[in-house]
Amino acid sequence: MKKLKQLWNKIRDRYRYSMILLRELVKTDFKLRYQGSMLGMMWSVLKPLMLFAVMYMVFVRFLRFGAGIPHYAVSLLLAQTLWSFFQEATSQGMHAIVGRGDLLRKINFPRYIVVISATVSAFINLAISLVVVLIFMIVNGVEFRPSLLLFPFVVLELYVFALGIAFILATMYVQFRDIGHIWDVVMQVWFYATPIIYPISQVISMGKLTLAKLMMMLNPVAQIIQDARYVVVTPQTETIWSLVGSSTPLFKIVPIVITIIVFAIGVMVFRRHEKTFAEDL
């Protein structure tokens, strides 16, 4: 017990400065984001709600997507909320180093804190938006099941995946600003390649399992969104685990393995180039 306490004190002392700096950067980012805005933090709720309203009217009311799926409106809102976090975390993480260029040139501190602070700011927005999802669940009569306890782990997986990509993008963006435009296009394609609007079962029902379908199913964001719907909204949600089947059990862990690999690569790439960030900027 004494050794564990000593180890904890050593870890706390080592990262104490980093945690203080992270807290201050997150507070500054959050204040600057809504500076000069009349509604301020309310935009964290209004933006996803307005986008959800448009998607709901077009794809649910007019095109009849999700017909017969229990609580599809809540499933759509939850998926849109998680996707918005992923998009915001990767985009803000990409611009983090360049945006803090003046600070990096003046003060010597761990560069990864800047990227993490950008993703944590996006995470705070996610937490606020999830309150809206909770209200929709209550109004829509969604049953609160014990599986809800697994939801934080689903969000953690999404955060780790987004942070890994943010590290890679932040490193590339220092030297190649065109990455920002390319990433915007990638995100548009990725959005429609992920079962956010349409159910993933619709992809499987379209003929035999092609490489394109397999890539879509093994997309980590698709796996995370389907798992979130399963544990939060309804157990009738089809997940990657149920769709792949028992004949290919190893495929079931591919999205999680991809998440771990992306995060590891992101950390390695960032650490390799962080010493030259101040010079390149």
- Among the residues of the chain, which ranges form H helices? 2-33, 43-55, 72-99, 101-106, 112-140, 151-175, 178-192, 200-204, 211-217, 220-232, 240-244, 254-273, 277-280
State the pLDDT at residue 9: 60
Specify the pTM.
0.85
- Sequence-distant (6+) residues with CB within 8 A of 176 are none
Residue type, 232: V
- The pLDDT profile of the chain, 281 residues, written as one tens digit per residue, is 666 665 566 666 666 766 777 777 777 777 666 666 665 566 667 777 777 777 777 766 666 665 667 777 888 889 989 999 999 999 999 998 888 777 777 777 778 888 998 899 889 889 888 888 888 888 888 888 898 899 999 999 999 999 999 999 999 998 888 899 999 999 998 998 888 887 776 666 665 555 666 666 678 998 899 889 888 988 777 776 666 655 556 666 778 889 999 999 999 999 888 887 766 66
State the pLDDT at residue 261: 94
State the pLDDT at residue 168: 95
DSSP code at position 234: -
3 state DSSP class of 9: helix
Q: Can you tell me the distance from the alpha carbon of 262 to that of 272, in angstroms, rounded to the nearest whole number?
A: 15
Per-domain boundaries in the chain: 73-280
Nearest Cα to Cα of residue 66 among 257, 213, 181, 236: 236
Most distant CA atoms of the chain, gap in Å: 64
DSSP code at position 249: G
Nearest Cα to Cα of residue 193 among 179, 212, 206, 211: 212
- Both structure tokens of 93: 């993480």
State the pLDDT at residue 41: 64
- Sequence-distant (6+) residues with CB within 8 A of 236 are 69, 70
